[in-house]
Structure 1
Amino acid sequence: MQSIRQRGFTLIKVMLLSSVASVVVFAAFKDTLVQERLSGNYQKDLNARLLAEKGVIERGQALKAALTNNPNLTLEQAVQQIGAGLGSGELDGTSFDAQLSVNGDEVAIASLGQRYDDQAQARMISYFKYTPPERSSVFQNAVTGCKGVNLAGSGLVDSYDSTQGSYEETRTSNGDVNTVIGDADVVLNGHSPIMGDVKASGILYLKGSSPVVGTVQSNTGIDISAGSGVRVDGDVLTQGFVKHNGGQITGILRANGDVTMKWGAEILNQNRAELDIMYGGSGSFQSSHVQDGLHYSADRFNVNPEVEAVRVYDPSSPDYDPNDPDKECDPLALPLNMSSVIDSNNSYADFSVGAQTDYVFTPAEGRYIRGGSSTWSSSPADIYLFQHLTQNHGQGNGSSEYVFGMKNMKLTSDGTITIEGGDVIWLVDGDLKMTGHTSITIKAGSSLAIFVTGKVDFGASAVVVTEREGLTDSGFPSLSIFSSYSGQNGVTMRGASSMYAVVYAPVTSIAMRGSGQFYGTIRGATIDATGGSGVHFDEALKNFNLGNGGVTTPAKLEFMGWRFESGEDYQAPDEEEE
């Protein structure tokens, strides 16, 4: 009987232990379930965060790509182009929605990452600083003579800004003169003041009687002829020699080579730099050449200075070749690509306007308004230089340019041509010549762009009138001439009347023989000005958006910081406070 009772108690103990174990197991199951749910929620939150980061990364990369592919887009235009970003993750039920906003130069990318819709949400906001692209326009100077400049006339070289007003209202001293190719000299041999810097890759000769109001700089040497008064109203900098034969330098002199100063030559050092002069070679001075009682021949002055070289090449040139510096005059690679603009196998015919004949060109057609009756329709083309410009032509095909092709263009006697109604483009596979009392009038808001393979000659009595100077609303200059001619005197201007133009003739010489004033900019292999024509650089032309748009350094997006918000903090874009 006792044995039976013992066995019964054992059974009860086993049942009690089993019950306790069951309670423990169920408690462990519950804890495990809670932990599993916590882990799942954490995993969902982590997935939401990763999706939010993915949205930021994808939108940031898309924005960078848009700015790189088209550097002429503004930040706002790039953001508008790529729009919002909607996407999904690799797991089912994962998605993101990235929105961009702009505030000045700051870009905010707000990305909402979600897992199973509202079960897990995370919003990441990243901030980027936008740095616009750096530009170096082809048209930075009044006069660019790649292989040399000879200014022997009596006209003033200076600058103004047609976007701010007339020449008389906005005159400035940025009428720079420079050369591009190594050992290209600049000779200033007239009575024309230069209101701007002069940079020569070769020797700079100052032989005229008028001053240079700016810095003069040379890689080879600077030769200042005998004279009196101010010769350089600025600094004299060279990696070579200096011969200072007379007159005043109002700034300082720095030369890596030899320096010779004659009687009557002075360095005024008006900005009170520590030393009037520094030179790395030998020095030849007169007894009057002292600073603070110390002669210029003293060791204190005979120290090789650091002089920046005149830049003699353009690495951004599409045709850049360091072994062929002649190409460096042509950053637009015009002769190389002229065949894509004017087909050498074309069937163009000569075009002329003669005595008692008036002709009108619009972008769509050309027609006689006196002396004839035929009309001429333009045809579509693709001009590589205008890839970032939209011609105002009024045609249905906005992506193409509309052009008039001719073999030779001649305007004679008292014939006239009027340009109106938008941006007109001529392709001249030959010479362009104006003789007699002829005129071309470009109406306000219109422009004329001329591509020419032969010579351009504006006669002494020829007149080119631009009713409004500068760039049109579509970005074209009132008159622009692009020449691929490679012989001598490819562009000659003889007129006595004023003229506004962009002249780009990188492989031929430009001769200025007239007495009229020239407004705009000139770039040629060599520039030879012997008339009384002044050159007045229109600084608005720095914004003439040709080729790659002048971009030397692309736009940048710099990461500034980020923060996360929980899904509870998120508001849809249309619910956010203004």
Structure 2
Amino acid sequence: MMKKAPKGFTLITVMLLTTMASIVVFAALKESIVQERMSGNFQKDLNARLLSEQGIFTHAESLQNELPNDATLTVDKLLELYGKQSGKGSINADALFATNLVKVSDSEFEIHSTGSRHNKDANASLVARFAFQGAVYESVFSHAVTGCKGVNLSGSGSVDSYDSSKGSYEETKTNDGDVNTVIGDSDVVLAGHSPIKGDVKASGVIYLQGSSPIIGDIHSNTGVDISYGGGTRVEGNILSGGFYLHRGGLVTGTVRVNGDATMKWGSKIGNVNNDDFAIQYGGRGNFDDSSKHSQQGLPYSNSRFNVNPNVEPVRVYDPTSPDYDPRKPDKECDPLALPLNMPDVMEQSSLFRPFKTGPTQEFDFTPSIGYFTKNGSGTRTPFSQSIYILDAMTANQGSVGADEPLVFGMKGASLTSDSQVTIRGGDVIWLIDGDFVMSGDTRIYITKESSLTIFVTGKVDIGASAKIITAQEGLTKSGFASLSFFSSNSDPEGFIFSGATDLYAAIYAPRTTIIMKGSGQLYGTVRGASINASGGSGVHFDAALKNIQLGGSTSLKQAAKITFLGWRYKLPTE
């Protein structure tokens, strides 16, 4: 007989197998839950990280949008105005970011950004570093000689440059004494007998009629005319948007001409750097000396050289340009819009009274008072007034504290005989509604770390024996030029310097002709409607004047910008 299986064994086996299967399933479920939670946490962390990046991009974009709107922005000002931001991501209402701008230096800053999700259960922090470069304006005092409508230099004085912030003229002199015009077809005539040590740029024709060389490049929109003569005439290159007429002497560099090119006997192109083309011209060529007017055996008349080089034009005033402003028709010559704004500068002129000094008299000016110190009586009291050109600077007014600079108003100023005026104690500002005349053996003495700034509506005439002596050339610690003239006069020959002694000054007279006819040298810079220099007058450009911070200028050279340098993630607890 067969044995019978115990009853219920199959059920127990099934239950055991079911239990084991359940354990496996529950273990798998638990692992799945752990994986799901890890995936969720990773997703939240990733969202937080992306939110921190969004904060960086949003904050940086807002800064970038503001840079063109405010030319005075600095890292400190960015921190003050746009230091903190916050926002929401598009994921959910609990997706948040917050940013904070932190200064590293005057030229660098960081944006610290934190992104969070689920009530800050997930957080991520990111730091991005940026370089900052403020707006750069082209200084109105960026050249030795700027004659908006023309320049005529027929004297024996040279034009060159130096930097008073680095040393004396003899210690730092260089060849950056540029001469230029900026309006229409304005010519430059160089008929003197001393070198021009810098580039010469003109919208009109450049005439070289003197015996001394141009130590620099020549660039004209209309043409270059070199007279007969020997020796080196141009120690540099020639660029002409029009014609080129070379009668005699050497051009050491190359020649590029859009129009006709003519070279007479005795003229030569040195091509000192062995350029593939000593000359290129787009018009007709006329060359008298085939043996010298050639390169590697090929005459300049060969078609190889008859190729238009498309010379880039000198920038000039253009009423059809997109940024033309009819309220500022002469902005290229007068970027400060001085004549337009001079009525505001002289708004209290009805209260001005004349200023005069006579024989043996001496008068002192400080920023807060003017008074006779010898053979005279009476005082002059300044008043506070905002002047747009000086808004970017803070005047040194000694112990006097004022929100606006103190200025002295005068209904004309006349210094005669052997009188003397001393400027001391800081930055002195004169507003002269009328003429400023120095005659006889008069003198103005400007002490160290003091300056004299003169706004004048009438004629300026500094006589042959008159002297303005500056104890310190260049800029004071407060940023003022030791002597500067701002003239709105539009009469012919509205600024005359015929002194026999040297003068340091920054001269801005965009509506009148500036005449320099003495034997004294001008150290500084000169800008006028036209410039006529004769006699021994020379101009020695002080490059330190490029750093003067004048307000009202519209010549933006480079807008402010920020540049991304790199980033790093960090723990929120750092």
Length-normalised TM-score, structure 1: 0.86
Partner residue, 1:554: 559
Please say which of residues 84-93 and 489-498 is displaced more in the overlay. 84-93
Counterpart code for 1:455: K
Shift of 1:57: 4.5
CA distance in 2, matches of 1:80, 1:488: 50
2:292 aligns with one of 289, 294, 313:
289
Deviations 1:252-271 (Å, cap 9, x if unpaired)?
11211112211111111111
SS at the partner of 2:350? Answer: coil
Q: How far off its partner does 1:556 sit?
A: 1.4
| Per-residue deviation, 1:124 | 1.5
In 2, the alpha carbon distance for the partners of 1:491 and 1:552 equals 29
1:31-75, CA deviations, whole angstroms, 9 ceiling, x for partnerless residues?
Answer: 999899779856864664465346434643565477555535554
Paired AA for residue 60 in structure 1: A
Counterpart in 1 of 2:380? 376
Give unmatched runs, 5+ long, in structure 2: 1-21
Measured in 1, the distance between the counterparts of 2:168 and 2:485 equals: 22
Per mean C-alpha deviation after superposition, the further-off stretch among 66-75 and 179-188 is 66-75
CA distance in 2 between partners of 1:276 and 1:125 (Å): 55
Secondary structure at 2:544's aligned position in 1? Answer: helix
2:273 is matched with 271
Task: Assess if the C-alpha contact under 8 Å between 1:162 and 1:538 holds in 2.
Answer: yes
8 Å contact from structure 2 (residues 55, 87) kept in 1: no
- Contact kept, 8 Å, 1:289 with 1:296, in 2: the verdict is no
Q: Give the superposed CA RMSD.
A: 3.7
| Partner residue in 2 for 1:199 | 201
User: Residue 520 of structure 2: which of 511, 516, 520 is its match?
Assistant: 516
Q: Report if the CA contact (8 A) 2:72-2:134 is conserved.
A: no
Residue aligned with 2:111, SS: strand
Structure-2 separation of matches of 1:93 and 1:204: 67
CA contact (8 A) 2:438 2:462 kept: yes
**Deviation per residue, 1:286-306 (Å, 9 max, x gap):** 233332222221111222122
Contact 2:524 / 2:542 at 8 angstroms: preserved in 1? yes
How far apart, CA to CA, are the structure 1 residues paired with 2:65 and 2:381? Answer: 39
- The one-character-per-residue Cα deviations of 1:107-157 (angstroms, maximum 9, x if unpaired) are 432223456886332102224344453432111110000000000100010
Per-residue CA shift, 1:440-485, capped at 9, x if unaligned?
1111111111111111110111100110000111111001100001
Q: Quickly say closer, same or farther: Cα 1:290–1:99, change in 2 above 3 A.
A: closer
Alignment of 1:316-395 (within 5 A): 320-321=324-325, 326-343=330-347, 346-394=350-398
Q: Deviations over 1:508-553 (max 9, x none)?
A: 1000011111100000000011121110000111111112565322
* Gap change, CA 1:324 and 1:255, over 3 Å in 2: farther
TM-score where L is the length of structure 2: 0.87
Mapped to 2, the partners of 1:74 and 1:335 lie a distance apart of 30
Residue in structure 2 matching 1:262, options 255, 261, 264: 264
Letter of the aligned partner of 2:173 in structure 1? R
Gaps of 5+ in 1: 1-21, 573-578
Contact 1:364 1:395 in 2 (8 A): no
Residue 124 of structure 1: SS of its match in structure 2?
Answer: strand
Task: Tell me how many residue pairs correspond in the alignment.
Answer: 559
Contact kept? 1:510, 1:526, Cα under 8 Å: yes
Aligned-partner Cα distance in 1 for 2:196–2:410: 39
SS at match of 2:353: coil
Contact 2:95 2:115 in 1 (8 A): no
Compared CA separation, residues 318 and 294, structure 1 to 2 (3 A):
closer
Select the residue among 231, 238, 241 that pairs with 2:240. Answer: 238
Structure 2 contact 261–284 (Cα < 8 Å) conserved: yes
Describe the shift of the 1:314–1:116 C-alpha distance in structure 2 as closer, same or farther (beyond 3 A).
Answer: farther
User: What letter corresponds to residue 252 of structure 1 in structure 2?
Assistant: T
| In 2, Cα distance between equivalents of 1:217 and 1:322 | 29
2:411 is the counterpart of 1:407 = yes
1:521 alignment partner AA: T
Instruction: Please state if 1:478 is matched with 2:482.
Output: yes
Pick closer, same or farther for the CA change 1:47–1:281 going to 2, 3 Å. closer
For the pair 1:52 / 2:52, whether they are aligned, the reply is yes
> How many angstroms does 1:364 deviate by?
1.3
Q: Tell me how far apart the structure 2 counterparts of residues 311 and 492 of structure 1 sit (CA, whole Å).
A: 28
Report the equivalent of 2:222.
Answer: 220
What is the correspondence of 1:43-192 to structure 2 with a 5 Å cutoff? 45=45, 48-49=48-49, 52-53=52-53, 55-57=55-57, 59-60=59-60, 63-64=63-64, 68=68, 70-75=70-75, 77-78=76-77, 81-82=80-81, 85=84, 87=86, 96=98, 98-102=100-104, 107-114=109-116, 119-192=121-194
8 Å Cα contact 1:426-1:449 kept in structure 2: yes
Q: Per the alignment, in what secondary structure is the counterpart of residue 253 of structure 2?
A: coil
Cα distance in 2 between the residues matched to 1:324 and 1:83: 33
Counterparts of 2:126 and 2:322, CA distance in 1: 42
Partners of 1:293 and 1:195 in 2: CA distance: 33
Provide closer, same or farther for how the CA distance between residues 324 and 218 of structure 1 changes in structure 2, counting only shifts above 3 A. Answer: farther
Provide the rounded CA distance (Å) in 2 between the counterparts of 1:182 and 1:118: 66
Which residue is equivalent to 2:17? none
The answer (yes or no) to whether the contact 1:63–1:82 under 8 Å persists in 2 is no
Instruction: Please tell me whether the aligned partners of residues 355 and 412 of structure 1 are also in contact (alpha carbons under 8 angstroms).
Output: yes
The 3 A distance-change label for structure 1 pair 255 and 319 is closer
- For residues 368 and 54 of structure 1, what CA distance do their matches in structure 2 show? 68
**Which residue of the other structure, out of 545, 557, 569, is the alignment partner of 1:541?**
545
Q: Decide which of 438, 446, 449 is 2:450's aligned counterpart.
A: 446
User: Is 406-415 or 107-116 further displaced after alignment?
Assistant: 107-116
Match of 1:431 in 2: 435
Contact kept in structure 2, 1:251 and 1:269, CA below 8 Å: yes
* Cα distance between partner residues in 2 of 1:318 and 1:100: 38
- Structure 1 513/102 Cα, relative in aligned 2: closer, same or farther at 3 Å? same
1: CA distance, partners of 2:322 / 2:455: 19
The whole-number CA distance in structure 1 between the counterparts of 2:351 and 2:322 is: 29
- Give the structure 1 partner of residue 460 of structure 2: 456
Question: Residues 320, 519 of structure 1: CA spacing in aligned structure 2 closer, same or farther, 3 A cutoff?
Answer: farther
Q: Is the 8 A contact 1:63 1:78 kept in 2?
A: no
> How high is the sequence identity, in percent, across the aligned residues?
53
Say if 1:79 and 1:100, in contact at 8 Å, map to a contact too: no
Whether the aligned pair in 2 keeps the contact of 1:318 and 1:332 (CA below 8 Å) is no
